[in-house]
């Protein structure tokens, strides 16, 4: 299935079902979308080969793993050049608190979603692992009170 190929309604139903529960057995997925299990397996494989399905992830609850304090860290680096950006990215991804990292446009260069044990651990991360780096000009921190997740991503 080429990347530019439009998805038909059955493909969209498969994607919706898998995004809601990626552990759905093929037999149940086929029944939910109204096709034979062998056809369903072929379609899922084609969606995978086309790169539309990139993988499956396990979602964990940070609070139940001892990291209840989540925050978004907006980071500005100066100068914003690849020789500094690449090592910075590697450093951030190596921190156990890092959940996600985004490279941005606008006044801030990076957004880091972190999960820490407590306020002291978050402070240590900001002071010892981020602002202590020469290229980091600014870190501004927003605590996350609550999170909601959107529904399945489908083409427009």
Q: How far is it, in rounded angstroms, from Cα 52 to Cα 74?
A: 30
Is residue 103 a contact partner of residue 95, using CB atoms and an 8 Å limit? no
Q: Determine the pLDDT at residue 6.
A: 80
Q: Is there a single domain that holds both residue 33 and residue 97?
A: no
The most distant pair of C-alpha atoms in the chain lies apart, rounded to whole Å, by: 59
- The pTM assigned to this predicted structure is 0.85
DSSP state of 64: G
Let me know if residue 139 belongs to a domain: yes
Q: Is there a single domain that holds both residue 70 and residue 45?
A: no
Let me know if residue 84 belongs to a domain: yes
The three-state secondary structure class of 130 is helix
Q: Nearest-CA neighbor of 15 among 3, 32, 36?
A: 32
Range(s) of the domain holding residue 129: 62-143
Q: Determine the pLDDT at residue 154.
A: 86
Let me know if residue 55 belongs to a domain: no
Q: Is there a single domain that holds both residue 117 and residue 83?
A: yes
**In 50-151, alpha helices (H):** 82-94, 119-124
Let me know if residue 38 belongs to a domain: yes
**Per-10-residue mean pLDDT for the chain, 156 residues long?**
72 95 96 98 96 91 97 96 95 98 97 98 98 97 95 86
CB burial class (10 A; 0-12, 13-18, 19+) of residue 93? exposed
**Residues near 138 by beta carbon (within 8 Å), at least 6 away in sequence:** 74, 75, 76, 108
Q: How far is it, in rounded angstroms, from Cα 12 to Cα 138?
A: 43
Q: Determine the pLDDT at residue 2.
A: 45
Let me know if residue 156 belongs to a domain: no
Q: 45: domain CATH number?
A: 1.10.10.10
């Amino acid at each position: 299935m080429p990347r530019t190929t439009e998805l038909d309604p059955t493909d969209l139903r498969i994607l919706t079902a898998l995004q809601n529960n990626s552990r759905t057995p093929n037999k149940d997925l086929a029944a939910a979308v109204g096709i034979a299990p062998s056809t369903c397996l072929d379609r899922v494989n084609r969606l995978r080969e086309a790169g539309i399905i990139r993988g499956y992830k396990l979602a964990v609850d940070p609070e139940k793993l001892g990291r209840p304090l989540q925050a978004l860290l907006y980071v500005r680096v100066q100068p914003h050049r690849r020789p500094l950006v690449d090592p910075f990215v590697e450093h951030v991804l190596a921190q156990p608190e890092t959940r996600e990292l985004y490279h941005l446009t606008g006044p801030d260069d990076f957004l880091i979603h972190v999960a820490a044990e407590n306020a002291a651990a978050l402070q240590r991360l900001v002071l010892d692992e981020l602002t202590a780096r020469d290229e980091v000009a600014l870190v501004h921190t927003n605590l996350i009170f609550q999170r909601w997740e959107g529904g399945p991503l489908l083409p427009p």
